[in-house]
Chains A and B, each alone.
Chain A
Amino acid sequence: MQRQDATADADDGTLMQRVAAGDARALELIADRHTPMLFAVAWRMLGDAAEAEDVVQEAMTKAWVKAASWTPVGGGLGGWLRRIATNLCIDRQRKRAFVSDAEIPERADDSPSADVLIDEARRQAAVAAAMQALPDRQRAAIVLTYYEGVSNAEAAAVLGIGVKALESLLVRARQGLSRSLVQMGMLQEGSAA
């Protein structure tokens, strides 16, 4: 029991060493620690809970399979898993777009009334629709920097681009979100900045 507690307190690097040695308990602890973050990233990227679960599953499987080659650099294990999840989400989005390019995000309402505008659920649905309407990389940039609080340099590394390119992506993402939300009547024009 004492040994188990000690493992629970262990840092990610130690746990990954144990995982590399085939310790299933260490992987469970890593999953406990990082699943909420991975689920949030995947859900915000994909807008679908079931798909987000699949992404978490794939990311954890990769952590188990590739544990021997993992090295604690950059954002640590969390950063590595976040990178895996983000890339898996982008891959899924691309496949989704390839299967059907007719998928247009739902708009909350074309002519919303004042009552509807203040409805929290509808507001969240509008933001979700606006997020899903963004191109993959712009959405990833927003999710990583805005929601995950990742630094621009780290987010740029996750997406395999330079910091300047990431900043450009963020500007375009914000413009896209504002435009969509203005069109939905959820945001007043000129109030986004």
Chain B
Amino acid sequence: MSQLDQMLGGYAPPPVPEGLAARVAAAAIQEPQDRGMMLPWRRGSIRGGWRRGTLIGSAALGLAFTSAVAAEVASGGRIEIPVVHQMVEAVPILKASVHKQKPVQLASIEPRHGVPPSQAVEPSSAAAVPEEPVAGTPRERFIAKFTEAK
């Protein structure tokens, strides 16, 4: 045994205070006991008795239904999922969003060379806005930006 071990051997605790065990027990029983937080998840103490199956099944059903509603609403009613479609129809807010048609903006067709003007489609208002001339070289663009910032 080393000298260190000999010294450590002398490091003894004082005697346990009189009546400590009774005091701590008396104080402890004043607290309310946990009645097993895990119990609702167990069928019993048997191995494999978890009730997680119900939870997982409910979660899967919920997720499937939510996905179906999302698909129905996002498709604007084009995809008719049997039960979900009726439910979506029954909910006014969802129904409105299902039947709301977005205004479609057709792309303008530029007249080609050689095509008679009568066949050319009128350019849309967005296409009519003249574009600002963009400087050609990077140096010119940099100078233009610098001047603009100034």
Residues of A at under 8 Å CB distance from B? Answer: 20, 22, 24, 27-28, 30-32, 35-36, 39-40, 43-44, 49, 52-53, 56-57, 60-61, 63-69, 120, 123-124, 126-128, 131, 142, 146-147, 174, 177-178, 181, 186-188, 191-193
| Residue among A28, A128, A142 having the largest count of chain B Cβ atoms under 10 Å | A28
> For chain B, what secondary structure do more than half of its interface residues adopt (helix, strand, loop), or is it mixed?
loop
Interchain CB contact (< 8 A) of B10 among A22, A56, A120: A120
Contacts of B24 in A (CB 8 A): 31, 35, 53, 56-57, 60-61
Cβ-defined contact, B13 with A146, below 8 A = no
Chain B 22-37 near chain A by CB (<8 Å), digits 1 or 0: 1111011101111111
Determine if B134 is an interface residue (Cβ-Cβ < 8 Å): no
Flag whether B83 is at the interface (Cβ < 8 A): no
Q: Which residues of B contact A186 (CB under 8 A)?
A: 7
Other-chain contact of B21, A32, A61, A147, A188 (Cβ < 8 Å) = A32
With contact pairs A28-B22, A31-B21, A60-B25 given, residues A22 and B4 touching in the complex (Cβ less than 8 Å): no
Which secondary structure dominates where chain A touches chain B? helix
Q: Are B10 and A24 in contact (CB under 8 A)?
A: no
Residues of A within 8 A of B2 (CB): 191-193
Task: Give min CB distance, A146 to chain B, whole Å.
Answer: 6
A112 to chain B, nearest CB (A): 14
Give complex CA distance A67, B32 in Å.
Answer: 11
B32 to chain A, nearest CB (A): 7
Pairwise interchain contact B7-A123, C-beta atoms closer than 8 A: yes
Interface assignment of B146: CB less than 8 Å from any CB of chain A: no
Check: B104 CB closer than 8 A to any chain A CB: no
Complex contact B11–A64 (CB within 8 A)? no
Q: A64-B28, A192-B3 are in contact. Are A39 and B16 (CB under 8 A)?
A: yes
How far is the CB of A16 from the nearest CB of chain B, in Å?
12
